[in-house]
Structure 1
Amino acid sequence: MSRAPSAPRRAFTTRRRVATVGVALVAATSLAACAQSQREAGGGEGGTLTFGAAGAPDGFDPFYASDGETFRISRQIMEGLVGFKPGSADVEPELAESWEHSPDGKAWTFKLRTGVKFHDGTDFNAEAVCKNFQRMFDQTGAGQNQALSYYWIENFGGFSDGKTPSLYQSCESPDPTTAVVHLTRASSKFPDILGLPSFSMQSPTAMEKYKANDVQAQGDSFVYPEYSRSQPTGTGPFKFASYDEGNGTIKLVRNEEYWGEKTKLNELIFRIIPDETVRKQELESGAIDGYDFPNAADLKALRDAGHNVQVRDPFNIMYLGITQKNNPALKDVKVRQALAYALDRETLVKANLPEGASVATQFYPDTVDGYADDVQKYPHDPAKAKQLLAEAGVPNLTVNFYWPTEVTRPYMPDPQGIYNALAENLRAAGITVNPVSKPWNGGYIDDVDNARADIFLLGWTGDYNTPDNFIGTFFGTTENRFYTAGSPWGADLADQLKAADAEPDEAKREQMYQDINRKLMSEYLPAIPLSHSPPAIVTSAEVEGLQTSPLTAEEFASVSISGQ
């Protein structure tokens, strides 16, 4: 992760990815435990693990999802051509044993694992791979809505109707164990993106039988087909069993025909418990065996009570967003630099974030390619901030500062406390702050995405280990939440990011991203990176074999429960 200037850099992932990998997948291990009654009910080698989920999934078809609760379930029952190494953000083989690409980076040949079947008995082979890609590419109607096909649109672009350019071109299966994916251009994010749950391999037979693509818009929401509601079918170590929506309980069972090492658990249950305090109480009572993102203030008490608290390596960024659309003063880079100098990020990290958090100097961790050690820094300097505001002709700057309620995020564990600290910093530099607070899903994200805020708190947990996943996501188009379309450099930045992503030469691409990061932190400064924060996960003391993921992408597979 990116560290404070004086702190050493600590790599938990390798900074280079290899084009061809030929080693077998090492299955990620994760959580396992269970309340006594559930152990008795589950029986067998590993009994039942009950995990407290923070919310209900949107559905069970990960292609139509962008929420963490859906993906948490998808990771247990589905697999991709590639996966992520346990404890890191780097790719490794999963359903593909190896891969290689053409010199121009446009053709990718995957050698597939043999002897693998989907949960319904359908063979996993090259034909199934191509049917999956074609299914995603052939979306029509509601299926092309960004609220549904978010990750396809963000990573691949358009669909087969050709209305919008697409990174994906075609797929061919020269033999059952070889799939060739053709792209329209080289991309730094390929094949990493294939490790995302949205691009998991799903049974073509089940998708056709249960009409997976038959999603319909209904007002501001969607009606999902039977496949998404109750028939998700992958190749993973768990199979979908049931969803008791009334009781908020999702049940998965062991896949006895799994191609790899079978999970020790008989059952994996997710109980939907939206309130974090209630999740903590349920863990303490033994009703659940673990939950994610415990409040940083509770970590010591949880440990003292004998629970197993693990803090992940941080692979995220929290930033102060700046929207240039509504407040003319914010279009001046001197004003944006003044905001950066006004913020005491060192104290923020020490006082408001969990142990292991660090000050960010740019928009992604130092374990990602293109990280530049020599970017412009902004130490806390209220006098410098006042000087820049005076030079810009706005010594009495006023901003509407948006912060979210009814939410905690891995990078933002205490939104109100973080807002209070930063607002105090801004006021000390002579800036008038008008607070605007809204529920995360009750207007906040909508206002931020539609560039209504002057400044705002937001962040990102990386999906995979490439620069494009961070700064490409933030600034890759001019019509973004920062409204860089209103800046003379906005289109240039977007073009630079597209060019860097499409550069097949790794060394040249690294230099291009370093140059972009230098400009982002000096002449552009569309937002202010604040911190990297390590999110925690907690289980009961009986859990053994937890392997945390910086992507918050744990798999509940090779685990054990003491005494079982």
Structure 2
Amino acid sequence: MVHSRTARRRWTAAIGLTGVAALALSACAQSERGTDSSSGSGKTGGTFTFGAAGAPKLFDPFYATDGETFRVARQMFDGLTTFKPGTAEPVGQLAEKWSSSSDGLTWTFNLRKGVKFHDGTEFNAAAVCANFERWYNQKGAGQSDAVSQYYGDNFGGFSDGAKPSLYKSCSAKDAATAEIVLTSSTSKFPDILGLPAFSMQSPDALKKYDADNVQAQGESFVFPAYATEHPTGSGPFKFSKYDKANGTVELVRNDDYWGEKAKVDKLVFKIIPDETARKQALQSGDIDGFDFPNAADWDSLKKDGFNVQIRPAFNVLYLGINQKNNPKLRDLKVRQALIYGINREQLVKSQLPEGAKVATQFIPETVGGYAKDVTEYKYDEAKAKALLAEAGASDLTLKFYWPSEVTRPYMPNPKDIFGAISADLQKLGIKIEVTTKPWNGGYLTDVDQGVPDLFLLGWTGDTGSADNWIGTFFGNPANRFNTGANTWGTDLATALKKADAEPDRDKRFKLYEDLNKKIMTEYLPAIPVSHSPPALVTKSSVKGIVPSPLTDERFYSVSVS
């Protein structure tokens, strides 16, 4: 999804995104799996090897926060809902259809029959409730934001009642009907049930391998065997092995899958952290494709006969501002000086691919609640210096972090993006203390613990709901922006909760539009930088990949000639 989810998308904005704003109110849908005409018609069998930018954290998607884990999990697990290929539109998966009460609190899911998990356990309403209750009843380390962040962001508290929970109860009306009761109406339900974190997992396997036995070990966590060796879903691929020595994850086709069977026998993820090395592996034939090729290489890859597929830009890159350590950052004039002093227009032109845009707010224009008349900050070095002087901050020194060993859809080259922003800030007379750490080797931990003053981060939307964007960023007063240092942090969180709970779509969009204006004018807790279209690249012999605005590609439809 953390914003690493990201871990936290598109070629022409018209494809898959028309009507995104209305998605949250979908009351029922039919699954379209197996009916997609773009699923490819190449030969079946063989192996598809995909170059991964990093190692998966684990294989239990409920405890995952990173994109590489979710990429693998999507192939092994199904959710009650999913997203229509190539779009952000929710459709049925293990639920064939659903409906809600008029107040948006009670949801009835009619389930697909004849589905079994990989261990032979039957999928039914009891299994649905077992999964919901598992999430809700996490204890100890299982409640940590670093472990079950997606649950915390979307459902709130747990059964111990320490914090309010969106989830209230689940009951099996019969084997094929599950009823979910919420404590509040929300724009993000049931869309969030299509996220990998909320996949359905075998209740028997969860119990057999003590799946909830997560232990804190210093600042890290130790996960049970289920999460590392025995993930058990109902998807088109089954877990085979994780060879850490060779940096490969191997999945095999689930021949008993309820839907369209995977075309390849094996799906292998080869871990290659360096983007140049991934490109070389593709060129040498060691892999069949990889994600997020450097935009500077798109043309040359096309000329060499590779298939470069570009997703629409359903993401945002932002410069995070942590107000905890330096009191001067709590002055709005200082934060305004930072945004005026960064030449975002030039950064987009020089560092990001064609089709990238300067972000005027923290959501793209395809999301309902986007404010067309929001305050914009054009590059103005003189104004930035004047604001710093007015705030008594002309001698500002800031700790600026940037991440290594990572490529994100919104951040194709972190080092160069950092360099451009840092150079602009130094022109204002700001002294920069530079720190770089690996993405999953200290960077995200330091950001979440509030160590840097400035940091690069971003988000690729999980759904088309505004709550999934600004609600995730600013809905918690004690988040990584430390908005809790100001009274408006709580005010903003309260306003966001009110907007999310508004059942009327037009009223909800208006509330979000007003909030986006306020965020950019009165609060400015961070600096939105850009929306950037990421790509994925494969050999010409690879058929059947449908690029997703949510980076939600499913590889069951892939064939390799």
Moved more, 147-156 or 71-80: 147-156
Moved more, 167-176 or 117-126: 117-126
- For residue 364 of structure 2, what is the aligned residue in structure 1? 365
How far 1:358 moved relative to its partner?
0.9
- For residue 19 of structure 1, what is the aligned residue in structure 2? 26
Tell me if 1:218 matches 2:206.
no
Counterpart CA distance in 2 for 1:407 and 1:53 is 11
Kindly tell me: are residues 443 and 102 of structure 1, through their superposed partners in 2, closer, same or farther at Cα, counting changes over 3 Å?
same
Amino acid corresponding to residue 197 of structure 2 in structure 1 = S
Tell me if 1:402 matches 2:401.
yes
How far 1:424 moved relative to its partner?
2.5
How far 1:93 moved relative to its partner?
1.1
Counterpart CA distance in 2 for 1:348 and 1:279 is 25
- For residue 234 of structure 2, what is the aligned residue in structure 1? 235
How far 1:118 moved relative to its partner?
1.6
Counterpart CA distance in 2 for 1:426 and 1:56 is 34
- For residue 422 of structure 2, what is the aligned residue in structure 1? 423
- For residue 90 of structure 2, what is the aligned residue in structure 1? 91
Amino acid corresponding to residue 303 of structure 1 in structure 2 = K
**Helix, strand or coil at the partner of 2:160:** coil
Give the percent of matched residue pairs that are identical in Structure 1 and Structure 2: 60
Matches for 1:114-153 after TM superposition, within 5 Å: 114-153=113-152
Counterpart CA distance in 2 for 1:64 and 1:337 is 37
Matches for 1:44-443 after TM superposition, within 5 Å: 45-443=44-442
The 8 Å contact of residues 316 and 458 in structure 2, kept in 1 or not, is answered as yes
Kindly tell me: are residues 379 and 561 of structure 1, through their superposed partners in 2, closer, same or farther at Cα, counting changes over 3 Å?
same
Amino acid corresponding to residue 161 of structure 1 in structure 2 = D
Counterpart CA distance in 1 for 2:234 and 2:424 is 52
Kindly tell me: are residues 480 and 22 of structure 1, through their superposed partners in 2, closer, same or farther at Cα, counting changes over 3 Å?
closer
Kindly tell me: are residues 451 and 32 of structure 1, through their superposed partners in 2, closer, same or farther at Cα, counting changes over 3 Å?
farther
1:500-531 Cα distance to aligned partner (Å, 9 max, x none): 11222222211111111010111111111100
**Helix, strand or coil at the partner of 1:265:** coil
Counterpart CA distance in 2 for 1:465 and 1:338 is 31
How far 1:395 moved relative to its partner?
4.0
**Helix, strand or coil at the partner of 1:557:** helix
**Helix, strand or coil at the partner of 1:489:** helix
How far 1:46 moved relative to its partner?
2.5
The 8 Å contact of residues 320 and 458 in structure 1, kept in 2 or not, is answered as yes
- For residue 529 of structure 2, what is the aligned residue in structure 1? 530
How far 1:442 moved relative to its partner?
4.0
- For residue 5 of structure 2, what is the aligned residue in structure 1? none
Amino acid corresponding to residue 212 of structure 1 in structure 2 = A
- For residue 40 of structure 1, what is the aligned residue in structure 2? none
Pairwise CA RMSD: 2.2
The 8 Å contact of residues 156 and 166 in structure 2, kept in 1 or not, is answered as yes
The 8 Å contact of residues 248 and 271 in structure 2, kept in 1 or not, is answered as yes
Amino acid corresponding to residue 74 of structure 1 in structure 2 = A
- For residue 444 of structure 2, what is the aligned residue in structure 1? 445
Kindly tell me: are residues 442 and 201 of structure 1, through their superposed partners in 2, closer, same or farther at Cα, counting changes over 3 Å?
closer
Counterpart CA distance in 2 for 1:442 and 1:204 is 33
How far 1:9 moved relative to its partner?
7.4
- For residue 37 of structure 1, what is the aligned residue in structure 2? none
The 8 Å contact of residues 30 and 555 in structure 1, kept in 2 or not, is answered as no
Counterpart CA distance in 2 for 1:470 and 1:398 is 30
Moved more, 238-247 or 59-68: 238-247
How far 1:241 moved relative to its partner?
2.0
The 8 Å contact of residues 32 and 561 in structure 1, kept in 2 or not, is answered as no
Matches for 1:479-558 after TM superposition, within 5 Å: 479-558=478-557
The 8 Å contact of residues 263 and 558 in structure 1, kept in 2 or not, is answered as yes
- For residue 3 of structure 2, what is the aligned residue in structure 1? none
The 8 Å contact of residues 186 and 500 in structure 2, kept in 1 or not, is answered as yes
How high is the TM-score relative to the length of structure 2?
0.92
Kindly tell me: are residues 332 and 413 of structure 1, through their superposed partners in 2, closer, same or farther at Cα, counting changes over 3 Å?
same
The 8 Å contact of residues 53 and 406 in structure 2, kept in 1 or not, is answered as no
Amino acid corresponding to residue 22 of structure 1 in structure 2 = A
The 8 Å contact of residues 451 and 480 in structure 1, kept in 2 or not, is answered as no
**Helix, strand or coil at the partner of 1:271:** strand
Kindly tell me: are residues 556 and 381 of structure 1, through their superposed partners in 2, closer, same or farther at Cα, counting changes over 3 Å?
same
Moved more, 350-359 or 437-446: 437-446
Amino acid corresponding to residue 80 of structure 1 in structure 2 = G
Kindly tell me: are residues 242 and 432 of structure 1, through their superposed partners in 2, closer, same or farther at Cα, counting changes over 3 Å?
closer
Counterpart CA distance in 2 for 1:26 and 1:237 is 11
Moved more, 460-469 or 511-520: 460-469
Amino acid corresponding to residue 138 of structure 1 in structure 2 = N
Counterpart CA distance in 2 for 1:403 and 1:77 is 33
How far 1:394 moved relative to its partner?
3.3
Counterpart CA distance in 1 for 2:159 and 2:487 is 34
Moved more, 421-430 or 365-374: 421-430
Name stretches of at least 5 consecutive residues in structure 2 with no aligned partner. 1-11
Counterpart CA distance in 2 for 1:141 and 1:423 is 40
Amino acid corresponding to residue 26 of structure 2 in structure 1 = A
Moved more, 323-332 or 232-241: 323-332
Kindly tell me: are residues 448 and 250 of structure 1, through their superposed partners in 2, closer, same or farther at Cα, counting changes over 3 Å?
closer
The 8 Å contact of residues 29 and 557 in structure 1, kept in 2 or not, is answered as no
**Helix, strand or coil at the partner of 2:269:** strand
Amino acid corresponding to residue 157 of structure 1 in structure 2 = G
Kindly tell me: are residues 146 and 428 of structure 1, through their superposed partners in 2, closer, same or farther at Cα, counting changes over 3 Å?
closer
Counterpart CA distance in 2 for 1:177 and 1:224 is 32
How far 1:179 moved relative to its partner?
0.7
1:56-84 Cα distance to aligned partner (Å, 9 max, x none): 22221111211222211111111000101
Amino acid corresponding to residue 355 of structure 2 in structure 1 = G
The 8 Å contact of residues 33 and 543 in structure 1, kept in 2 or not, is answered as no
Amino acid corresponding to residue 163 of structure 1 in structure 2 = A
How high is the TM-score relative to the length of structure 1?
0.92
How far 1:107 moved relative to its partner?
0.9
Amino acid corresponding to residue 244 of structure 1 in structure 2 = D
Moved more, 203-212 or 548-557: 203-212
